[in-house]
């Protein structure tokens, strides 16, 4: 996986499998400290200590259909090779919080990629889950909440193609407006 957006898509899938009702995605670009922080938080089932300890083991997975679980290890590696850190916290019943940092201008940092497309894919695949996408760049901030959108569109499903198109354009424009460097 060569783009951070694809990692987000992959990791958020874990949250949905953990029965989360809400998944928050937060990106913070801090050019002053040359830091890019990605946080993904959910209110899913959470993990106990043993599971948490093994989450970064590529040969550990909770799935039965294959013997490897590469999602988290690959993201951890992406952070490591860009001078960053990987912090995963979780408790059963209290959801999971993931915080990954990268050197914002590090040569080996993966580009953000198509964050708008990823959010659209997440929303299309999980219409019942509420997503928030928050992206900061210095003093500028962009925020999107599917809950707010759902209130406005009432009985129109959020995964309707027109709504998805609107969300894609909204996020793409928002990221541009805050002058993202990622």
Partner 1 sequence: MAKITIEDLKKIKERVHAETALRDGHLRVKVTVHMGTCGIASGAKDVMDSLLREIEEAGVSDVSVTTSGCMGLCSREPLVTVEILNQDPIKYEYMNSNKMRQVFKRHILEGEIQNPFVLARGAETQK
Site residues, partner 1 (CB under 8 A): 1, 6, 9-10, 13, 17, 63-66, 69-71, 74, 114, 117-118, 120-121, 124-126, 140-144, 148-149, 152-154, 156, 159-166, 170, 173-174, 177-178
The span from the first CA to the last CA of the chain, in angstroms, equals 16
Report, in Å, the least distance between residue 104 CB and partner 1.
21
Q: Closest CB to partner 1 among 104 and 123?
A: 123
Per the structure block, which two tokens stand in for 111? 């580009």
Q: Closest CB to partner 1 among 56 and 178?
A: 178
Report, in Å, the least distance between residue 169 CB and partner 1.
9
Report, in Å, the least distance between residue 161 CB and partner 1.
5
Report, in Å, the least distance between residue 37 CB and partner 1.
19
Strand partners, 131: 23
For residue 147, what are the contacts with CB-CB under 8 A and spacing of at least 6?
Answer: 130, 132
- Give CA–CA dist 158/121, Å, rounded: 12
- Give CA–CA dist 24/12, Å, rounded: 9
Q: Closest CB to partner 1 among 91 and 125?
A: 125
Q: Closest CB to partner 1 among 83 and 117?
A: 117
- Give CA–CA dist 149/158, Å, rounded: 8
Q: Closest CB to partner 1 among 32 and 155?
A: 155
With beta carbons less than 8 A apart as the criterion, state whether 104 and 37 touch: no
Neighbours of 155 (CB within 10 A): 5
Report, in Å, the least distance between residue 96 CB and partner 1.
17
């Amino acid at each position: 996986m060569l783009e951070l957006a694809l990692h987000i898509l992959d990791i958020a899938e874990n949250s949905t499998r953990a029965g989360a009702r809400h998944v928050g995605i937060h990106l913070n670009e801090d050019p002053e400290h040359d830091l890019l922080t990605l946080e993904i938080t959910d209110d899913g089932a959470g993990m106990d200590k043993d599971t948490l300890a093994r989450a970064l083991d590529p040969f550990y997975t909770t799935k039965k259909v294959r013997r490897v679980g590469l999602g988290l290890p690959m993201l951890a590696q992406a952070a490591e090779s860009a001078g960053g850190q990987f912090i995963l916290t979780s408790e059963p019943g209290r959801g999971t919080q993931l915080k990954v940092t990268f050197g914002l201008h590090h040569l080996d940092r993966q580009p953000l990629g198509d964050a708008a497309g990823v959010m659209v894919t997440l929303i299309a695949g999980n219409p019942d889950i509420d997503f928030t996408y928050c992206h900061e760049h210095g003093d500028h901030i962009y925020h999107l909440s599917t809950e707010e959108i759902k209130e406005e569109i009432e009985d129109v499903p959020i995964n309707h193609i027109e709504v998805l198109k609107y969300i894609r354009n909204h996020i793409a424009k928002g990221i541009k407006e805050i002058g993202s460097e990622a």
